[in-house]
Amino acid sequence: KQEVTQIPAALSVPEGENLVLNCSFTDSAIYNLQWFRQDPGKGLTSLLLIQSSQREQTSGRLNASLDKSSGRSTLYIAASQPGDSATYLCAGPKAAGNKLTFGGGTRVLVKP
């Protein structure tokens, strides 16, 4: 069974600092890796999806990388803002399919 881990569980940074969020997975045979944002009391919003054949994806201030050989993905958020405060989750299916295994999430607080 694939395990997905996110460390740290919580992170606090001053506004303007770059955020680096880590995601590790035990099985390198993941099909893709997806990053989500979850605001308190809300559902999950998809941020970026990296296919297994890709090394990274970018959207605005967000950049996600994928290294299957080391079993790691990293989400970079440049020049953080208080509005970036949320919980960030990574997830991926083990094989071709849509059954996601989630990490526990990293709760981020960006202080003004």
Partner 1 sequence: NAGVTQTPKFQVLKTGQSMTLQCAQDMNHEYMSWYRQDPGMGLRLIHYSVGAGITDQGEVPNGYNVSRSTTEDFPLRLLSAAPSQTSVYFCASSRGNSNQPQHFGDGTRLSIL
Write out the residues near partner 1 by the rule CB under 8 A: 31-32, 34, 36, 42-46, 49, 51, 89, 91, 93, 96-100, 102-105
Q: Least Å distance between CB 4 and partner 1?
A: 8
Q: Least Å distance between CB 15 and partner 1?
A: 28
For partner 1, the closer CB: 42 or 55: 42
Kind of pairing between the strands at 10-14 and 106-111: parallel
Q: Least Å distance between CB 66 and partner 1?
A: 13
Q: Least Å distance between CB 70 and partner 1?
A: 22
For partner 1, the closer CB: 71 or 93: 93
* Interacting residues of 1 by C-beta distance below 8 A, sequence separation 6+: 101
Q: Give the span between the Cα atoms of 29 and 68, in whole angstroms.
A: 8
Which pair of structure tokens corresponds to residue 91? Answer: 């997830």
Backbone angles phi, psi at 54, to 5 degrees: -100, 160
Residue 16, by phi and psi: left (phi above 0), alpha (psi -120 to 50) or beta?
left
For partner 1, the closer CB: 51 or 81: 51
